[in-house]
Structure 1
Amino acid sequence: MAALGFAAACAWPLSGQASPCEDIDHEGLSYTVCEVDPAADDLRLFLTDENGGLYGSFQAIDRAANGEKLVFAMNAGMYHPDRRPVGQYLEEGEEVMRLVTNAGPGNFGMLPNGVFCINDNDARVIETLRYEAEAPECRYATQSGPMLVIDGELHPRFLPDSTSRNIRNGVGTTQDGDRAVFVIANQPVTFHEFGSFFRDYLELPQALYFDGNVSRLHAPGLNRSDFGFAMGPIVGVLSPVDETRPGG
């Protein structure tokens, strides 16, 4: 049930505009960090369009957004070869894929894993068994794994001396969900390094891994939009065109 692996992405340059993203160096490693205010920003998940077809790319979402543009987006959770989500997936409160609570192969099944739950005024990373017990009402939700940070502690299986490195991406949130911070590494990193960035630099108590085989970012304000083979779930922020492009 691991994600489908693809070749490394490339960057597609875009015209400059205001960006919620910035590049940050920490302990000799570079990360791009994108912070979202769930109460103010139109944060949502994207999988299928109004005709039931899979979006698969940032550009497809942009083309379908009537009068709006993506100001930020990244891949958001693991998926099968046909791009169906591996675990829990909700759009507008409708369940597309059920919650998976058992351990399994690959990073997704390296428990504890978790769910990223988005509502109109907050967004929270919630460990899967806690999510099952609380049964929160989420407008959007995507399950992935492993958890990077759980209640301020790194995942217990992360090793400081690990040699497994990948371009990784994920999301961390505050306890009450008033901030959601999305991160992608700009060079291969270990799980321990990646989780430590969320815990030690961003000081976020909960963080969730999205992927390391397919890690892509759309940040027009940084003149960046990674591309490659079609993706599964995507998380992004939409804004009216006239707010993202001067004179638009």
Structure 2
Amino acid sequence: MRLLALALLLAPTAMQAAECRDLSFEGASYTLCEVAAGEDLRLFQSGPDGAYGSFKNVDAALATEGKALGFAMNAGMYHRDLAPVGLYVEDGVEVSKLVTRAGPGNFGLLPNGVFCIGETFRVIESRVFRKERPDCRYATQSGPMLVIGGKLHPKLLADSDSLYVRNGVGVSRDGARAVFAISNEAVNFHTFARLFRDELGLPDALYFDGNISRLYAPALGRHDGGFPMGPMVGTVVPKD
């Protein structure tokens, strides 16, 4: 009975908060937040009064329900009006459609992908997503893919001098874990992708954004501010 009680305490539940920690990889500093399947992980873009634009506004909206953000991060690219670029699904409702054509900028650097939140987590290449149409309660499209089936995106160059603060998400092979990462200093795509594959052992990872990358992690005393954001991802926990 004691072993059973301990197992229940350790099992993931929707009441748990994401665990955030700092990590050094090849001399660069990162902050990671890990979420287990079963936690209340959601995407946020707009409410009754329009686009949220900030972690503060999302947290305030949740407070009316007696809830709060456990952690949050920007989660995909967006237009000037803060509307998402590419596929965006919030609480089962498709807000904007999947884009599979090549295009300018990081989003159009194919293959790009979709982060899908269902019973488990998935990072799926966009054209595979179009064929499979998995059941996602929440989904956000971004690009480029960083790691695809254990292989780095072929266009990510080890000696690239394109250095930015970057953030993204990687998912375990069984879909039971999603690890969100943000660099605390400027890194290139290749290094950021290898963080997910080589350090974290995650076979699939997706880039969210760079330069504007921000994190809300109250357990670490961190609340990045700045100009308004589009889609955000975060855990929902009971308000203290």
How much has 1:175 moved relative to structure 2?
2.3
SS of equivalent residue, structure 2 residue 224: strand
Separation in structure 2 between the aligned mates of residue 125 and residue 178 of structure 1, nearest angstrom: 12
Residue identity in the other structure for 1:117: C
Q: Does 1:91 align with 2:76?
A: no
**Structure 2 unaligned blocks of 5 or more:** 1-16
Count of equivalent residues = 222
Does structure 1 conserve the Cα–Cα contact (< 8 Å) formed by 2:144 and 2:207?
Answer: yes
**Alignment TM-score, normalising by the size of structure 2:** 0.91
Match of 1:166 among 147, 164, 167: 164
Does structure 2 conserve the Cα–Cα contact (< 8 Å) formed by 1:19 and 1:219?
Answer: no
SS of equivalent residue, structure 2 residue 46: coil
Q: 1:29 matched to which residue of 2? A: 28
Q: 1:156 matched to which residue of 2? A: 154
Identity among equivalent pairs (%): 60
- Runs ≥4 residues deviating over 6 A: none
Residue identity in the other structure for 1:205: P
Q: 1:58 matched to which residue of 2? A: 55
**Alignment TM-score, normalising by the size of structure 1:** 0.88
How much has 1:64 moved relative to structure 2?
0.7
Q: 2:11 matched to which residue of 1? A: none
Residue identity in the other structure for 1:30: S
**Structure 1 unaligned blocks of 5 or more:** 1-17, 242-247
Q: Deviations over 1:10-39 (max 9, x none)?
A: xxxxxxxx7610000111011001000122
- Residues 148/220 of structure 1: CA separation in 2 closer, same or farther (3 Å cut): same
Q: 1:12 matched to which residue of 2? A: none
Q: Deviations over 1:75-119 (max 9, x none)?
A: 000001111111000011111000000000000000000000001
Note the aligned Cα RMSD (angstroms).
1.0
SS of equivalent residue, structure 2 residue 130: helix
Q: Deviations over 1:137-170 (max 9, x none)?
A: 1100000000000000110001111110000000
SS of equivalent residue, structure 1 residue 227: coil
Q: Deviations over 1:195-224 (max 9, x none)?
A: 000000001000000000310000000000
